[in-house]
Structure 1
Amino acid sequence: MKDNLDKIFKNLEGSFDIEEPTIGHFNRFEAKLNKTVAAPPKKGTNLFTFIAIAASIVLFFGIWIGSSFSNSGMELAAISPEMQETESYFVTVIEKELQIIEKERNPETEQLIKDALNQIKKLEKEYQVLTLELKESTEDQRIIYAMISNFQQRVDVLQSLLIQIEDFKELKTQNNEKFI
């Protein structure tokens, strides 16, 4: 270990800064330090600090109370690890389907996509109602089944849309072949 330190210092031997500061440097530095220390504290700062702390405490309690009485519901993932896995699966499938649909978006398919996304929005609103119901009654299996069914309906709508888009593309290709 000592040999390593000796090597390091030997390699750095000529690169150390050994220059002395200019004359009066320490006096100028000390004057700057004294200048900043000499400023008296303002009395208004204490009142402002007190008000800021009080407002922070009130805000914290407001957020805490608001979150405990909020209208947000309970997700499937909060029920059990199996439900979390189920919800994660459906969310992943829906996201993948939406990515595929976005790639197929063009002026000709726009209306089909818009209609399907409106159906998805309705199903998402229904799901939000189900989350509120689940928060009220976590033991009701019908609500859990309805939530899973809602996810499945969303997947079905998206898959149906993809089939319609493929049918539309195929029909368009056939029509183009007839005119050639």
Structure 2
Amino acid sequence: MEKDNIDKLFDRLQGEFDTESPATGHQDRFLEKLAGHNKGSDSKKPVLYRWKYLSIAASVVLLLGIGWVFYNTTQQSRVPVETETQVAYPELEKTQYYFASLIETELKKIREEATTEDTKVIVEDAVTQLNLIAKDYKKLEEELQNNGYSKQLLNAMITNFQTRITLLQHVMEEIDAIKRLKKDDHEEIRI
């Protein structure tokens, strides 16, 4: 039964088989390639050449790297004071962005929580105080621009941000206290 199936398969596929013979000299070329792979010393020769070129290239890269490091260390000894402040500014900008977004988020939360007149007054007062502290921060920025980088100045700027955040936290605590007080008053009246 299997032979019948195979016979039918061959009958059906007749004329579709690749029956062309390879080009003349195919066997000779194949044997030459086969003989070339069997030679041990000839096949290692290109690898050795490649290894030599890679060694030379690695040496050149190493020398260039050492020269670059040497050049940079000699240039750093000549760096003026202004460059140090320019290096500090990207970190300062990241810190400013972090604190400013944190303050903005907290202020938004506080404004959402301020639903009564008492809490709205507290929030308005806090915004006024925040604006005053922000003006102080602008003065610190101007001083940084005029006098350059100093750790004391940067600490003062960070303390300014922390003061604003602390103020907002106190305002949030006051709003929560007012809400609890009103809730407690309403609960007492119901009893």
Q: TM-score range by the shorter chain?
A: 0.5 to 0.7
* Superposition CA RMSD, Å: 1.9
1:136 Cα deviation after fit = 0.9
On the 8 A contact 2:99/2:161 being kept in 1, the answer is: yes
SS in 1 for 2:149: coil
On the 8 A contact 1:127/1:147 being kept in 2, the answer is: yes
Aligned to 1:130: 140
Which stretch shows the higher mean deviation, 135-144 or 77-86? 77-86
Aligned to 1:72: none
1:77 Cα deviation after fit = 9.4
1:92 Cα deviation after fit = 1.2
Aligned to 1:114: 124
- Write the distance in 2 (CA, Å) between the matches of 1:77 and 1:176: 58
On the 8 A contact 1:77/1:83 being kept in 2, the answer is: no
1:175 Cα deviation after fit = 0.6
On the 8 A contact 1:77/1:84 being kept in 2, the answer is: no
| TM-score (norm: length of structure 2) | 0.51
SS in 1 for 2:118: coil
4+ aligned runs moved over 6 Å, structure 1:
none
Aligned to 1:104: 113
Structure 2 unaligned runs (5+)?
Answer: 1-84
Please list, as runs of the form range in 1=range in 2, the aligned pairs for 1:14-163 lying within 5 A after superposition: 79-106=88-115, 107-163=117-173
- Write the distance in 1 (CA, Å) between the matches of 2:136 and 2:147: 16
1:82 Cα deviation after fit = 2.7
By percentage of residues, which structure has more helix? 2
1:81 Cα deviation after fit = 3.2
In the alignment of these two chains, the number of paired residues is: 105
On the 8 A contact 1:79/1:138 being kept in 2, the answer is: no
Structure 1 unaligned runs (5+)?
Answer: 1-75
Greater Rg by CA: 2
Could you tell me the percent identity over the aligned residues?
Answer: 32
